[in-house]
Structure 1
């Protein structure tokens, strides 16, 4: 900004700011809050066990076991403080259907569980200079074919598609009340993470139209959230691991990957393979294959993978 383009009043104000040690950009630049929506069904809710329960495979596969006992514990030391408490990030906040606060362990399906939000939030929080808000919208047992059905797919619009739109807009509108520390920030909806698929994977009709519905979901969410440039990351529904052979499961995962290859989505939609994150029940708190055996490392790695994929799409905005 040059003084030759300003009137004398503006020049005097800028001079006063400069004397006070502020730049002319302080006149107009508002701080930005980067907002990411994380949506899906029960595996986006998150069923990874936080506490090590001796009755659940001796605690193996829980988040507490991961940071204290696992051979990989050095890779996860950033999740705990020197005193052993869970880290709460000042620069990453989360709102999950009325539960809110600083990102930490315990924002899963219950306060005793965690999901992809933890890994995702740590990755984007480390890379982005501005503060981050995660808006998590997830409900168990929901299909894309019916519950999340986007308008462009025809038929009845899914009630949970409508919930995503309504809840996201409400959080952004109520931001000064929900997060007073960000009252002066300009909220920018920059990314959307999707982890869902089990209910379509077990229904042939939903399975057959999954690719069409997912592509329409991306288009319709961008339109209805007034965020045409919003980046979109799809995490594979690979909860039965790399040895999966069921035709419907393979078909659905193929459909999820295919959408990211559409010409219109190149560079703005990414697919994250997750089957390698699967941990067998012998290494996990449960044998619930549809919930990734409740393994905390698995859920963390899904979020971590989604976060890194999002950063590639947002490359100019990250550090």
Structure 2
């Protein structure tokens, strides 16, 4: 073979190699070991008001996370051998600037938990890769106005836009926010929603809720560019199974409706929470709209959301 022919062949092979590498790169799966990201959003009950430490003078401290651990063998793992709250090395959380390893204290205040706590434990146990929870929740916000999805018409909700913005910003600076996760890559694999009190305060917002929630699911998927992103909705079970207020019951019905839509079959699930409601006499407070501040309730909600997400994630 002449030098000229050899030169041409070598260059042709090099060009072909570069071309194939580029094509394969376009269709490559997320890097093995990439961080699995779950977005948790809603209003004050996604923020979380479950008391970590109870007041012995109020119902003997019942309903606090400490009381739950002390009186339930199932939850002993939440504290280490020295009696301190455990922090997971494989589950991380970002909540409006507060960030770290998953442990109690990422509720509305550092003295509380929300659904994120048990949800993170369930997903951390189920997934071998690192898990990151992005919590974007604000108290007193409605789906009709504050989280209003663009496709519902009118002005998009400012908190809808802020939610999407936070997700993109945090993931765009993943290594900066979490040095432990530097260079691992990430994949958004699920979305959890717990909201509904404000919309249930008036009939117009209540009657619009189902439409807005379905549009919310569609718009989040569109804006994040993730078709069929798994969605888990925890309904508004305030008042428990004895709830009689029509607006509250209609909100629950609206929250359960989207999972029955053909387009959402197998990728949207609604978990019922009425059975997790605890009376004020068994809880740290009398704020029914905050589940009476009962940490067991928030733990059960997060756990149920996690179990539902596990099933959707596995599909």
Structure 2 length-normalised TM: 0.89
Please state if 1:60 is matched with 2:66: no
Q: 2: distance between equivalents of 1:214 and 1:290?
A: 20
1:101-125 deviation per Cα after TM superposition (whole angstroms, max 9, x unaligned): 0000010000000000011000000
* Deviation string, structure 1 residues 281-314 (Cα, Å, up to 9, x no partner): 1110111100001000000000000000000001
Contact 2:37/2:133 (<8 A) preserved? yes
1:27-176 equivalences in 2 (<5 Å): 29-68=31-70, 70=71, 73-176=72-175
The DSSP-based 3-state class of the residue aligned with 1:90 is coil
| 3-state SS of paired residue (1:215) | helix
The secondary structure found in structure 2 opposite 1:234 is: strand
Correspondence list, 1:1-319, <5 A:
29-68=31-70, 70=71, 73-316=72-315
CA contact (8 A) 1:118 1:303 kept: yes
Partner Cα distance (1:259, 1:289) in 2: 26
Secondary structure of residue in 2 paired with 1:198: coil
- Larger C-alpha radius of gyration, 1 or 2? 2
Q: Structure 2 stretches of 5 or more lacking a match? A: 1-12, 15-29
1:68-97 deviations in whole A, cap 9, x for unaligned? 1x3xx1111121111111110000000000
Secondary structure class of the residue paired with 2:66: helix
CA distance in structure 1 between the partners assigned to 2:149 and 2:96 by the alignment: 21
Q: Report deviation, 1:31.
A: 2.6
Tell me the distance in 1 between the aligned counterparts of 2:33 and 2:290.
39
1:171: how far off?
A: 0.5
Conservation of the 8 A alpha-carbon contact between 2:47 and 2:114: yes
2:178 and 2:31 map into 1 onto residues whose CA distance is 20
Tell me, what secondary structure is at the counterpart of 1:212? Answer: helix
- The residue matched to 1:34 in structure 2 has which SS? strand
Checking the alignment, whether the CA contact within 8 Å between 1:57 and 1:286 is kept in structure 2 is no
Deviation per residue, 1:165-214 (Å, 9 max, x gap): 10000000010100111111111001000000000011111101100000
DSSP 3-state at the match of 1:87: coil
8 Å Cα contact 1:143/1:200 also seen in 2: yes
Q: State the Cα RMSD in Å.
A: 1.3
The question of whether the paired residues in 2 share the 8 Å contact of 1:30 and 1:184 is answered with no
Give CA-to-partner distance per residue, 1:120-158, whole Å, 9 cap, x none.
Answer: 000000000100000001000000000000000000100
How big is the shift at 1:30?
Answer: 4.3
**SS state of the match for residue 243, structure 2?**
coil
Q: Where does the alignment leave 5 or more consecutive residues of structure 1 unmatched? A: 1-6, 9-27
1:169, 1:291 → 2: CA distance? 29
Aligned length: 288
Please give the alpha-carbon distance, in whole angstroms, between the structure 1 residues aligned to 2:33 and 2:51.
Answer: 36
CA distance in 1, matches of 2:199, 2:221: 22
Give the equivalent residue in structure 2 for 1:17.
Answer: none
User: TM-score, normalization: structure 1?
Assistant: 0.88
